[in-house]
Structure 1
Amino acid sequence: MTDWWKSAVLYQVYPRSFQDSDGDGIGDLNGIRARLDHFLALGIDAVWISPIFPSPMADFGYDVADYTGIDIRFGTLADFDALVAAAHARGLKLLLDFVPNHSSDRHPWFVESRSSRTNPKRNWYLWADPAPDGGPPNNWISDFGGSTWTYDDRTGQYYEHAFLAEQPDLNWRNPDLRAAMYAAMRFWFDRGVDGFRIDVLWHMVKAAGFPDNPPNPDYRPGMGEMHRVLQTNSTDQPEVHAIAAEMRAVADEYSDRVLIGEIYLPVPDLMAYYGTPERPEVQLPFNFQLIDAAWDAPTLHRIIAEYEAALPPGAWPNWVLGNHDRPRVATKRGQAQARVAAMLLLTLRGTPTLYYGDELGLEDVAIPAELVQDPRELREPGIGLGRDPVRTPMPWDASEGAGFTTATPWLPLNPDHATRNVATQAGDTHSMLGLYRFLLALRRAWIPADAALTLLDADDAILSYKRGDDILVILNLTDQIANGPPLDGEWHLLVSTVSPSVVTAPLNPNEGRILLRSSSPAQAGA
């Protein structure tokens, strides 16, 4: 196996919230560089950094004003080069967030595009005439609520934006636009970047002619306005696969590079983004199923089995528990099951992605209304779609600023940061951080990346599976005592998610175990 990303564990950094090095309350590149040893101690292999390009920050970096620069809030190109060099010197890979569906409305390309209907860059974005009544060209709804169309008084047309009006969508049917974006990818590859996570890949092409989206028969109030319609014509168009293949061809001009696609689609549709052997697309179409799955053994058993069965020949699986857009796993599952979830994530076959702070058991932080930053929450307040609660600063120690900053942090710290922080948990082998470190070390030492996954019969409480012939994972998804599967031979405990002093024959409530088929003495873990 030669592809490094197949045996790697990825770690997402939200740069505003990881480490502030200059005392302005916002994390930055030099802060990430100062914390590289945390990644080594944890045991991860690659760091994915959310957008750091110049941006007005209407959507905190996902509105890019220059695809080949660094926003001054985060540092300089020299700081970035120093981070790449320091990461590579430690054997760490570094991935960037590429945002190809849309730019900022302040990007020079869009400034030109909206200047006149005859500007050479007019067709770099999506423009349409008003409907007969003068309103938007169709019924498409932005993911942040409201129409996806904004009227431009100067030129008398609407431009399309899947998100904020400050984020106009790019026209990927335009070959000049495509060439410019591929040049931006090469700019970063030439600087040593090891890959990209591609933002909203499935959004990048819209149906020609902009037909209406059909109404969603399952829409209910509180789901978010975007769900009033099905995004049949505004996402996941067949032409996007040729673009993904072209992106892959750019990556393949370099050695050992990886592309990861953000794609929220049903599994059968997700599989298409692997491409074909003749025309490969992204190596890892993100698999988000664990984030929203019903947390019970039969459901997880079914999800794992169906996902594994759906993979095309040669395709590599991946799993995700959380990210910068979704509630944290400890909030959704509780602290005890968050430990079980960590064991699940790090023992399934495929490449796992961790979200910063989950290794501490961070929970969503309640943000007072006057401190809300997220445009998603500001546009549709009170229905639980705001993302600030999962983007709060990383707590490093028990100091007033949690070791994150000497200033007022851009978002509030977790209220338990005096006890839930890296320094405190690093000294406790039974902490969440201790568990993550042990699981990552165990994964590296005992579970080959290509070891087969064999699901055992599921019951209402226990999810269990083997990796290869010699590793057995048993997870109690309930808060009741439960019996594990019958054991075929002699097995020894490598690690439990509960204290070794309370491990008994039946599984404790909310307990996960990893067993080794071996005649060596049992080894108690975190």
Structure 2
Amino acid sequence: MQLTDRSTNAWWRGAAIYQVYVRSFADDNGDGVGDLAGVRSRLPYLAELGVDALWFNPWYASPMADGGYDVADYREIDPMFGTLAEAEKLIAEAGELGIRTIIDIVPNHVSDAHRWFVQALAAAPGSPERARFWFRPGKGEHGELPPNDWPSQFGGSAWTRVPDGEWYLHRFAPEQPDLNWAHPEVRQEHEDVLRFWFDRGAAGVRIDSAAEVAKDPALPDLADGADPHPYNDRDELHDIYRSWRRLADSYPQPKALIGEVWLPDPERFARYLRPDELHTAFNFGFLACPWDAEALRESISTTLAVHAPVGAPATWVLANHDITRTVTRYGRADTGFDFADKAHGIPTDLALGTRRARAAALLTLALPGSVYLYQGEELALPEVEDIPADRIEDPMYHRTGGTDPGRDGCRVPLPWNGSAPAFGFSPAGATAEPWLPQPADWGRHCATAQDGAADSMLTLYRTAFRLRRSTAGLGDGPMTWLDADPRVLAFARGDGFSCAVNLSDTPQPLPAHHAVLLASGPLDGGLLPPDTAVWLRAN
């Protein structure tokens, strides 16, 4: 099947997008690390799953201080993943199966191994090489204190001192120096990188930390209550993304710009989605929302209301490479998600979490707009919370002295087949262990174990994606809430489709219908059991 639009050139408006964390997806060469050849070997699986596009976390040359989000060279593939030629083959082979490719761009920072930063360290204070970053003298009698009080996302100060006494800014790890986006070379380089990948067939880019790129050149202390915020959601950002949009729209088939935008103010969030800026942005409010009917209804309604004035499609996602896996989170007493409260060892009822995750899958796939699926969610993988401390790689864990459990628990390599590690992640006979240890019972989640099983999560997702693609009114378009018990989410899409999700603790009557298309679990005659979703044909 050759690559075609789902309906129009604006394929992103209703696409089903699968997130590939390459390091943990499939290992072809047996070194314990996922690679591009492994992804290529699993393209038939992804085509059968029924997704429209793949979003790849960074696959570029990198020292891997932060899982590849410390980019040393955007024009080279990291050797652990393969080569540029293999990336080009992957994009082309996926396209032949009707699957587009979205790459990750990290504009806020680069690796400390990037040629620009190497040049900056070798140059003198005040040099042109340092102007591409945020080098500043320190405070205190001898410059021994950081230039301001900004914190790192990974704990501690956002500043590191270099041997000549100056400090440089890194809002993430010290190995990730922040770029100065007021510098014309920084802007030009990123536009050149976009062209480089668009010319190789990439259909879009996901923009990491999209609201943090611009900084107040005065670098004021946060404690001073600076307004606007000195490094988040600054007005200068919009000119950057307008320039990117002009570039993306210059291609015969326009390229999609997808922002990672964490903002509590819906109106500020919507500004990034104006017709001449980003096409879509991740919906983190919905992702963090607890399993509660009132909270979910409010999140959905607010999301749609915010997107409507700017004509942008909403996005829906339950998990990603930074978030506690859905079946674990939904099995807890507190089913929401907050980075500040992230912890391991919280009691979890995985049977309950899985039932809710199945219902949530049908909910998200029925909502208007595009949907994202993080690898392994279709296999009902739980969070792995017992990774030995000496195997954890996430800098969040190490920079907080272990008080933050880190994100490796949702990054454990996928199980494909078999009954013992590496569960088909690596080829038979491979001697290297997977880069993160897999649980001994991972085999029950294997794709082959779920293939064809009527009650498996994999079968549910395959069926739902097929129906979503073939049912008029799903994907992009309007929706209407239906009258129902307050603890039930019920809505109509298109001409004759409806979805109902029971978040109460008692069975609830099904909405009026002529046929049941798909249910996340067994129905009770004409009743919808708790924590169950159903798709109905109303006429």
Is structure 2 residue 498 aligned with structure 1 residue 472? Answer: yes
Is structure 2 residue 511 aligned with structure 1 residue 511? Answer: no
Q: 1:129 Cα shift?
A: 1.8
Is structure 2 residue 437 aligned with structure 1 residue 424? Answer: no
Aligned to 1:145: 155
Q: 1:114 Cα shift?
A: 2.2
Deviates more, 1:385-394 or 1:444-453: 444-453
Q: 1:15 Cα shift?
A: 0.4
Q: 1:458 Cα shift?
A: 5.6
SS state at 1:335 partner? helix
Partners of 2:104 and 2:511 lie apart in 1 by 45
Is structure 2 residue 258 aligned with structure 1 residue 260? Answer: yes
Is structure 2 residue 250 aligned with structure 1 residue 243? Answer: no
Is structure 2 residue 354 aligned with structure 1 residue 346? Answer: no
Q: Does the Cα contact within 8 Å between 1:15 and 1:29 map onto a contact in 2? A: yes
Aligned to 2:286: 290
Is structure 2 residue 313 aligned with structure 1 residue 321? Answer: no
SS state at 1:203 partner? coil
Length-normalised TM-score, structure 2: 0.89
Aligned to 1:404: 425
Partners of 1:142 and 1:231 lie apart in 2 by 19
Q: 1:215 Cα shift?
A: 8.0
Partners of 1:383 and 1:457 lie apart in 2 by 45
Partners of 1:146 and 1:125 lie apart in 2 by 20
Amino acid of the structure 2 residue aligned with 1:268: E
Partners of 1:234 and 1:106 lie apart in 2 by 24
Among 148, 152, 162, which residue is 2:171 paired with?
162
Aligned to 1:126: 134
Identity of counterpart residues, as a percentage?
A: 41
Deviates more, 1:300-309 or 1:411-420: 411-420
Go from structure 1 to structure 2 and tell me whether the alpha carbon gap of 1:230 and 1:386 turns closer, same or farther (over 3 Å shift): farther
Amino acid of the structure 1 residue aligned with 2:416: W
Partners of 1:431 and 1:403 lie apart in 2 by 19
Amino acid of the structure 2 residue aligned with 1:474: A
Partners of 1:504 and 1:78 lie apart in 2 by 55
Amino acid of the structure 2 residue aligned with 1:498: G
What aligned pairs does 1:271-282 form with structure 2 within 5 A after superposition?
271-275=270-274, 277=275, 280-282=276-278
Q: 1:486 Cα shift?
A: 5.1
Among 218, 243, 251, which residue is 1:209 paired with?
218
Q: Does the Cα contact within 8 Å between 1:52 and 1:74 map onto a contact in 2? A: yes
Taking only aligned residues, the RMSD between alpha carbons, in angstroms, comes to 1.8
Aligned to 1:52: 59
Amino acid of the structure 1 residue aligned with 2:310: P
Q: Does the Cα contact within 8 Å between 1:142 and 1:148 map onto a contact in 2? A: yes
1:404-435 per-position Cα deviation (integer Å, ceiling 9, x unaligned): 01330000124432111100101202110111
1:137-165 per-position Cα deviation (integer Å, ceiling 9, x unaligned): 111000001111111122x3211001011
Aligned to 1:305: 301
Q: Does the Cα contact within 8 Å between 2:216 and 2:230 map onto a contact in 1? A: yes
Partners of 1:11 and 1:179 lie apart in 2 by 30
Aligned to 1:376: 396
Go from structure 1 to structure 2 and tell me whether the alpha carbon gap of 1:365 and 1:192 turns closer, same or farther (over 3 Å shift): same
Length-normalised TM-score, structure 1: 0.91
Amino acid of the structure 2 residue aligned with 1:64: V
Partners of 2:200 and 2:28 lie apart in 1 by 23
Partners of 1:332 and 1:215 lie apart in 2 by 37
Aligned to 2:515: 492
SS state at 1:11 partner? strand
Q: Does the Cα contact within 8 Å between 1:301 and 1:455 map onto a contact in 2? A: no
Partners of 2:310 and 2:204 lie apart in 1 by 23
Partners of 2:496 and 2:295 lie apart in 1 by 25
Partners of 2:184 and 2:222 lie apart in 1 by 26
Q: 1:343 Cα shift?
A: 0.6
Amino acid of the structure 2 residue aligned with 1:515: L
1:283-339 per-position Cα deviation (integer Å, ceiling 9, x unaligned): 011112222112111111111111111112321111111110111111111110000
Partners of 2:149 and 2:66 lie apart in 1 by 23
1:48-103 per-position Cα deviation (integer Å, ceiling 9, x unaligned): 11111111111110001111111100001111111112111111101111111100
Among 421, 434, 438, which residue is 2:463 paired with?
438
SS state at 1:402 partner? coil
Q: 1:372 Cα shift?
A: 1.0
Among 169, 179, 200, which residue is 2:209 paired with?
200
The alignment covers a number of residue pairs equal to: 497
Partners of 1:466 and 1:385 lie apart in 2 by 41
Partners of 2:76 and 2:36 lie apart in 1 by 13
Deviates more, 1:398-407 or 1:336-345: 398-407
Q: 4+ residue stretches of structure 1 with deviation over 4 A?
A: none
1:229-279 per-position Cα deviation (integer Å, ceiling 9, x unaligned): 99932211110111111112221222231111111112222111113x4xx
Partners of 1:374 and 1:20 lie apart in 2 by 20
Unpaired runs of at least 5, structure 1: 217-228, 519-526
Partners of 2:100 and 2:303 lie apart in 1 by 27
SS state at 2:508 partner? coil
Q: Does the Cα contact within 8 Å between 2:228 and 2:234 map onto a contact in 1? A: no
Partners of 1:414 and 1:199 lie apart in 2 by 30
Partners of 2:472 and 2:441 lie apart in 1 by 34
Go from structure 1 to structure 2 and tell me whether the alpha carbon gap of 1:273 and 1:313 turns closer, same or farther (over 3 Å shift): closer
Partners of 2:111 and 2:160 lie apart in 1 by 14
Aligned to 1:8: 15
SS state at 1:20 partner? coil
